[in-house]
Amino acid sequence: MGGRIDDVSSGIIRLLLRVVKFVVVPIGLLLAGYLIIGPMVSDYLNKSDAANSPGGKAIENADSGG
């Protein structure tokens, strides 16, 4: 009877490892991509928004000093 309990527990552990592999790894990759690419995208969007807004060019010129 002890053998069956070990088989069941090892099956549960295998299932958990499979879930971890297929859930945690993609989430980790998405999070890493978000942390790496997110700041670049937001910086790019902020620059394009500032250039497109009516007062954006004046603000950019004031920031550059003159």
User: Cα-flanking dihedrals φ and ψ of residue 22, to 5°?
Assistant: -90, -10
- Looking up tokens 């000093």 gives 65
Structural domain count of the chain = 1
- Return left, alpha or beta for 36; rule: phi > 0 is left, psi -120 to 50 is alpha, else beta: alpha
The model's pTM: 0.41
Domain of 14 in residue numbering reads as 2-64
Half-sphere CA count of 48, side-chain side, radius 13 A? 6
Tens-digit pLDDT profile for residues 9-64:
888 999 999 988 888 889 989 998 888 888 888 888 877 766 665 555 555 555 55
Of 4, 23, 22, 24, the C-alpha closest to 12 is 4
